[in-house]
Structure 1
Amino acid sequence: MGGALLLGTAACNDDNGGSNGSADAKATAGGGSSASAPADTAPKTSAARLTVTPADGATDVQPKDGLQVAVAGGKLTTVTVTDKNGKAVDGKVSGDGLSWKPSGQLTVGTSYTVSAQAVDAEGLVSASTSTFTTLTPAKTAGTSDNIADNGTYGVGMIVSVTFAKPIKNKDAVLAGITVTSSDGKTAKGHWFGDKRVDFRPEDFWTPNSKVTVKYRLKNVEVAPGVYGDVDKDEPFGIGRYQVSTVDAAAHTMTVDHGGGKTETLPITAGNDDNPSWNGTMVIYSKEVVTRMNSATVANVKGAEYDVQDVPHAMRLTRSGTYVHGNYWSSAFGKTNASHGCVGLADAKGGSDTSNGGKFFKSSMIGDVVKIKNSKGKTVDADNGLSGWTVPWSKW
């Protein structure tokens, strides 16, 4: 059959070129039977084997420690991780070239693409591309604080943050909240229980400085399976300087306006049965008129009271301590006659020209009021914004 095929080929060639064509055909046939060119070989593959964790297409990936790129049989050369908007994730290849991890946490509820390359000892490249999605938290801990965006507060303002759920990973939360001022002061957080953390600097804020609260909690697992709910910057300003010192024994309040400007006002503080708290407190609310009722205050001794139109009230503690105007007493500068509050002379309905009215007008939330020489105990740090009573070394 082979001969027949050769003859068939020769006959065709004869038709085109006679005996020379036949000779060409024989040469061609002979060449085909003794070919010496090497056969095609498969390309070499890299010995580097890339492993990307999580696997391609994975969902509900933990934003912390959920991503790693590793290689065996080679060294990593390039690792790029980007979110759906093309924003790159910072990371670093290990010193031995065998692994890569992100520098920080990933964002929850976000899709990422991982592109990695490695080379083996012969310089052959191995590449991998994969995608995954981080988890979307089923539970979050609501966050609230006592700061209004771009509000202005006194030099003693304490930032108090409250969570809707108990916090277990307190250090992680503290790392996710920073409070800094334009003059370089930094506030430190102090926990009161597992739902409240207060922030203050070592000493009072600088007048006319700017403070920014930075929340970065959305990627923080604040408790098992529970994440923070806020990433935002919250700026506020510090106003002029005003620090007032109440001397309960002398029945006076000295108001320091800074720059050597002070004034001393006669007051009445808590009586012997209901002494005022000692310590450093902060005005945290102001009401032109409020109602004060002994039924709303614990452990009041003596006759009950209910004054429905207390003027110029500035609250200092959750337990009911105020600096306020008083129109029903004449004890100012003479004796302590109140149920724990600091009273200033005022008129019924409130008078802007009275001591109570003028102090109310000059005061703002965040101003400091110190009380000393009272027969009462030192105020608890979490009673209002009284954290200044705690030494910095214990804050």
Structure 2
Amino acid sequence: MKRRGERGPFSGVRLVTSVALAGALFAGCTSAASDSSDGDTSGPSPTAAPVKPVSLSLSVDEGAQDVAPGQLFSATAADGTITEASLVGTHGTVVEGGITEDGSAWESAEPLGYGKTYTLEATATGEDGKPVTDSSTFTTATPSQTLSVSMNVQDGQEVGVGMPLIFTFSGDVPDKAAAEKALRVTTEPRTEGAFHWFTDDQATWRPKDYWQPGTTVSADAMIYGKHLGGGTFGAEDKAADLTIGDKVVAIADGGTHHMRVYVNDQEVRRMPISMGKPSSSTPNGTYTVMSEHNGYTMDSSTYGVDIDSSQGYRLWVEYAVRMSYSGIFYHSAPWSVGYQGNTNTSHGCINLSPENAAWLMENSQPGDVITVQNAGEQTLEPTDGWSVWQLSWEDWVAGSAE
């Protein structure tokens, strides 16, 4: 095939065409002039494109050491197709994998073991019909330590619209950005959200705004074989699928001494309450329901107040729902029914009658939202429980590792 610039603008076919056109102008369009042509108008035949050999590449170099075993291993063919491939450990393990639908690659389908040697081998055939084989033998990393991870949600659980997704590692994470890449939150419909690190061992994901009821969520901690920095690797993966339930929001007002409960933005119940007395006021802020208990012993020593002190207590209650790490609950309090609706007398919890506490717990679930207002001078800390809504979106995003 000729390239532009190899021949002048008045050479070859172009020159012959110009001469023939000039003759036609003087002689006119006669059959004799047409008959004088030899009839060969085919011009130069196109040159066929060269047949390319296959280019085969492997995703890991020969002799590589300390390879992260949780990554994807592959063989890729350009200008050809993979005909066979394998990834086999010297200890005899054959790693599962398969050729892609278009035949351009083979990809592994399971992670490798730590501190093992493997050989990746593949054969591909190019457009020229000639096969090419390549192989690479490498060794995976041996961790200096491994970290496991737990989540605050269970597979199949339904949760409220305020639920954060908390990934707690068994130790400090050296490379938080690497950890975030191994943590995945998938939603339908798509929901904007981000991670925030309150501590070096805990990554919390929350949506920008409350979840939309009916949203399905998949939380995946795909940490096995992933390098988390400083020779630290993930020990095993964790996953949970959950659903967002109705929007249940309660507003507890220390000025009116009542709680209003809204379901999907419609008020459904107004209940008298008694919150923390001035010396132990309930912190103002937006709480997220953490856990529910039928039969619970309220013990002041769990947050540092001896039960024998003047402010200490140890009481069994029939219905109790945790709202913070520091011991704020809403719970049944038959002893304070006379104060509910008019006076704040508790040690910080929200006191309800047994009937109202039972109703609220029956119609609520972890992840629901409770806002406390006009309760005193204290303010809820965003680190106290799942109180992620105490931070603005800008402050929340600023706590991400990426």
1:340 equivalent in alignment to 2:341: no
Query: CA separation in 2, counterparts of 1:149 and 1:326?
Result: 33
Query: CA separation in 1, counterparts of 2:160 and 2:153?
Result: 12
Q: Which residue of 2 aligns with 1:322?
A: 329
Letter in 2 for 1:183: P
Letter in 2 for 1:292: M
What do residues 186-219 of structure 1 show as CA deviations (whole Å, max 9, x unaligned)? 4321111101111110111122221110222113
Letter in 1 for 2:373: K
2:68/2:227 contact within 8 Å kept:
no
Write out aligned runs for 1:59-98 (5 A).
60-63=66-69, 83=87, 84-85=94-95, 87=97
**Structure 1 residue 276, shift from structure 2 partner:** 0.6
Write out aligned runs for 1:246-261 (5 A).
246-258=252-264, 260-261=266-267
Q: Which residue of 2 aligns with 1:386?
A: 387
Query: CA separation in 2, counterparts of 1:165 and 1:134?
Result: 23
Q: Secondary structure at 1:273's aligned position in 2?
A: helix
Query: CA separation in 2, counterparts of 1:183 and 1:68?
Result: 32
* Residues 270, 61 of structure 1: alpha-carbon distance in 2 compared, 3 angstrom cutoff: same
Q: Secondary structure at 2:173's aligned position in 1?
A: coil
Q: Which residue of 2 aligns with 1:376?
A: 377
1:164 equivalent in alignment to 2:170: yes
1:298/1:319 contact within 8 Å kept:
no
Query: CA separation in 1, counterparts of 2:353 and 2:294?
Result: 15
What do residues 80-139 of structure 1 show as CA deviations (whole Å, max 9, x unaligned)? 77534462699xxxxxxxxxxx999x94427341448899xxxx9986433334235453
Q: Which residue of 2 aligns with 1:15?
A: none
Query: CA separation in 2, counterparts of 1:213 and 1:369?
Result: 24
Q: Which residue of 2 aligns with 1:14?
A: none
* Residues 315, 142 of structure 1: alpha-carbon distance in 2 compared, 3 angstrom cutoff: same
Q: Which residue of 2 aligns with 1:148?
A: 154
1:303 equivalent in alignment to 2:307: no
Runs of 5+ unmatched residues, structure 1 = 1-47, 70-75, 91-101, 347-353
**Structure 1 residue 149, shift from structure 2 partner:** 0.8
Q: CA RMSD in A?
A: 3.8
* Residues 147, 55 of structure 1: alpha-carbon distance in 2 compared, 3 angstrom cutoff: same
Letter in 2 for 1:87: G
1:195 to 186, 201, 218: 201
Letter in 2 for 1:381: P
* Residues 202, 67 of structure 1: alpha-carbon distance in 2 compared, 3 angstrom cutoff: closer
Q: Which residue of 2 aligns with 1:243?
A: 249
What do residues 137-169 of structure 1 show as CA deviations (whole Å, max 9, x unaligned)? 453101111111101111111111111111011
Q: Secondary structure at 1:388's aligned position in 2?
A: helix
* Residues 88, 358 of structure 1: alpha-carbon distance in 2 compared, 3 angstrom cutoff: same
Q: Secondary structure at 2:361's aligned position in 1?
A: helix
TM value normalised by structure 2:
0.69
1:179/1:211 contact within 8 Å kept:
yes
Q: Which residue of 1 aligns with 2:271?
A: 265
Query: CA separation in 2, counterparts of 1:225 and 1:79?
Result: 37
**Structure 1 residue 326, shift from structure 2 partner:** 0.5
* Residues 216, 364 of structure 1: alpha-carbon distance in 2 compared, 3 angstrom cutoff: same
Letter in 2 for 1:390: L
What do residues 216-255 of structure 1 show as CA deviations (whole Å, max 9, x unaligned)? 2113211311111233531012222211011112211110
1:79/1:115 contact within 8 Å kept:
no
* Residues 52, 335 of structure 1: alpha-carbon distance in 2 compared, 3 angstrom cutoff: closer
Write out aligned runs for 1:13-52 (5 A).
none
Query: CA separation in 2, counterparts of 1:394 and 1:233?
Result: 28
Q: Which residue of 2 aligns with 1:40?
A: none
**Structure 1 residue 181, shift from structure 2 partner:** 2.1
2:228 to 222, 227, 239: 222
1:178/1:187 contact within 8 Å kept:
no
* Residues 51, 370 of structure 1: alpha-carbon distance in 2 compared, 3 angstrom cutoff: closer
1:135 equivalent in alignment to 2:136: no
Query: CA separation in 1, counterparts of 2:245 and 2:58?
Result: 56
* Residues 65, 162 of structure 1: alpha-carbon distance in 2 compared, 3 angstrom cutoff: closer
**Structure 1 residue 62, shift from structure 2 partner:** 4.3
1:274/1:300 contact within 8 Å kept:
no
Letter in 2 for 1:365: P
Q: Identity over aligned residues, as a percent?
A: 27
The higher radius of gyration belongs to 1
* Residues 211, 62 of structure 1: alpha-carbon distance in 2 compared, 3 angstrom cutoff: closer
1:77/1:117 contact within 8 Å kept:
no
Query: CA separation in 1, counterparts of 2:267 and 2:329?
Result: 24
Aligned length: 324
**Structure 1 residue 341, shift from structure 2 partner:** 0.6
Query: CA separation in 1, counterparts of 2:350 and 2:171?
Result: 36
Query: CA separation in 2, counterparts of 1:257 and 1:125?
Result: 66
Q: After TM superposition, what 4+ stretches of structure 1 lie above 2 angstroms from structure 2?
A: 50-56, 58-69, 76-90, 106-112, 114-119, 124-139, 229-233, 259-262, 293-308
Query: CA separation in 2, counterparts of 1:374 and 1:77?
Result: 71
